[in-house]
Amino acid sequence: MYDVVHEPLITPSCAAAALDWYDRHRRALPWRSEPHEKADPYVVWLSEIMLQQTTVAAVKPYFAAFLARWPNVSLLAQAPIDEVMRQWAGLGYYSRARNLHACAKRVAGEFDGRFPDTEAALRKLPGLGPYTAAAIAAIAFGRRAAVVDGNVERVVARLFAIAAPLPAARALIREKVEALTPSARPGDFAQAMMDLGATICTPKQPACAICPLLDHCAGRASGEPRRFPVKAPKRERPRWRGAAFFVRRADGAILVRTRPPKGLLGGMVEIPGTAWSADFDPGAALREAPIHAPYRKLESVVEHVFTHFALRLDIYVAEIARTSRAPAGCRWALEGDLDKEALPSVMRKVVEAARKGGKLFGGGD
DNA sequence: TACACGTGGTG
DNA sequence: TCACCAAGTGT
């Protein structure tokens, strides 16, 4: 076995092959304009923010709802932030929603409602990092920009059989993308590479046989395209515990509170609870209850997995007199209106468990 | 550079 | 059951 170096030629043919494939096999997505149509920067921006670390399937309904409610950036800029957080609830990475609103206000205020049309200017806006600034510059404004997301990383790492592990290999991958990106149709090229990564050059089972870049691909030539990209090992995820207190007033109102604007679930609404930690003491949970009440601990628990820890919550439920006042930092929300609150998914699980548990023991509605 | 930051689907 | 992953950004 010879130690052959497979080095694809960086010629227009590679980009041309990707573009040709894109013209025939591109995905139809709600935020995508036809090749001859002009892209709406607002639509491109909104979709790109939502798509950060988020699947197409998850984004679709949120994108439709946002666009229907706020058809342009100036209208979004005028919306109350709480409205935006509510509309974003369930999509995750909530700092994106805060930055989305901040960005809309900047564009409406400083740029008269029109997004800046260069990568450098876009990069200065909140929520726009290297990927998103390049993507908008290329897709919405036809600028030649190196668009590198997770898909492109994978495709390019395979194309060049890059052996260096991520994230250190990012600089090299970026150089390769920079060299590959054509001056003509840079936006379509970027989307072609992303579609390739999403549908052909997939993480587990790449469909090399039908890949338009097959003849260019060193990873394929190596016989083991799945080896690329090489990744550094991940840290293990700690298990945290805590408790939540579902308090229902006699008139059906539920005690809720809004989390601080920054950090985990920043600015979102929650059912009050203890702090979450690895050394949570279940026996001492009631000491952290937000309000005095005859709590009953449910048998069922709520489990939820965040990016960097797994959480198990004990659920306490209680009925309380109609005259009870909300403690500092909390407020009452009508149970029927909880759907409309900016409840993150983990808190929707808490509400669901409390309702189910409450009924089971005959204490409920 | 490394870590915080959500969620739901998938093999 | 569980690790992996999906159009990353901010600090």
CB A254 within 8 A of CB A330: no
The yes-or-no answer to whether A12-227 and A239-360 have a common fold is no
At A339, the amino acid letter reads D
pLDDT of A10 reads 55
For the domain A12-227, what is the CATH code?
A: 1.10.340.30
A349 CA vs C11 C1’ separation (Å): 30
Place of tokens 């808190």: A347
The answer to whether A141 CB sits below 7 Å from nucleic acid chain C is: no
Task: Please tell me which residue lies nearest to nucleotide B6, judged from CA to C1'.
Answer: A92
Residues 160-199 on chain A lying near strand C, CB distance under 7 A: 191, 194-195, 197-198
> Which positions in strand C are less than 7 Å from the protein's CB atoms?
3-10
A361 CA vs C9 C1’ separation (Å): 45
pLDDT of A35 reads 72
Residue A33, CB-side half-sphere exposure with 13 Å CA sphere: 15
Indicate the fold that domain A239-360 takes in CATH: Nucleoside Triphosphate Pyrophosphohydrolase (3.90.79)
Place of tokens 């409602």: A113
Catalytic residue among A7, A34, A37, A48: A48
Q: Model confidence over A222-251: pLDDT tens digits? A: 999 999 999 988 888 999 999 999 999 999
Q: Where in chain A are the domains?
A: 12-227, 239-360
Cα distance between residue A226 and residue A67, in whole Å: 38
A1 CA vs B6 C1’ separation (Å): 47
Contacts of A266 (CB under 8 A, 6+ apart): A94, A95, A98, A259, A260
With CA atoms as reference, report the closest residue to A347 among A90, A41, A128.
A90
CB A258 within 8 A of CB A89: no
Burial class (CB in 10 A: 0-12, 13-18, 19+), A209: exposed
Beta strand A296-305 with A310-320 is antiparallel
pLDDT of A359 reads 64
Task: Please tell me which residue lies nearest to nucleotide B11, judged from CA to C1'.
Answer: A204
Cα distance between residue A317 and residue A165, in whole Å: 49
Distances (CA, A) of A3 to A6, A222, A287: 9, 10, 66
A306 CA vs B6 C1’ separation (Å): 6
pLDDT of A5 reads 38
pLDDT of A296 reads 97
A8 CA vs B8 C1’ separation (Å): 37
Q: DSSP 3-state helix, strand, coil percentages of chain A (rounded to 5)?
A: 45, 15, 40
pLDDT of A1 reads 26
Beta strand A269-270 with A239-249 is unpaired
The answer to whether A293 CB sits below 7 Å from nucleic acid chain C is: no
CB A98 within 8 A of CB A267: yes
Q: Which run of H or of E encompasses A242?
A: strand A239-249
The answer to whether A63 CB sits below 7 Å from nucleic acid chain C is: no
CB A302 within 8 A of CB A313: yes
Task: Please tell me which residue lies nearest to nucleotide C8, judged from CA to C1'.
Answer: A52
Q: Which residues of chain A have pLDDT under 70?
A: 1-12, 36, 359-365
Q: Note if A335 is an active site residue.
A: no
pLDDT of A2 reads 31
Cα distance between residue A51 and residue A70, in whole Å: 18
What are the residues facing A333 on neighbouring strands?
A254
Residues 110-129 on chain A lying near strand C, CB distance under 7 A: 126-129
Cα distance between residue A249 and residue A253, in whole Å: 5
CB A287 within 8 A of CB A356: no
Point out the nucleotide closest to A95 (alpha carbon to C1′).
B5
Q: Model confidence over A35-52: pLDDT tens digits? A: 767 899 999 999 999 999
Cα distance between residue A46 and residue A51, in whole Å: 9
Task: Please tell me which residue lies nearest to nucleotide B8, judged from CA to C1'.
Answer: A58
Residues 238-277 on chain A lying near strand C, CB distance under 7 A: none
Phi, psi dihedrals of residue A311, rounded to the nearest 5°: -120, 135
Point out the nucleotide closest to A58 (alpha carbon to C1′).
B8
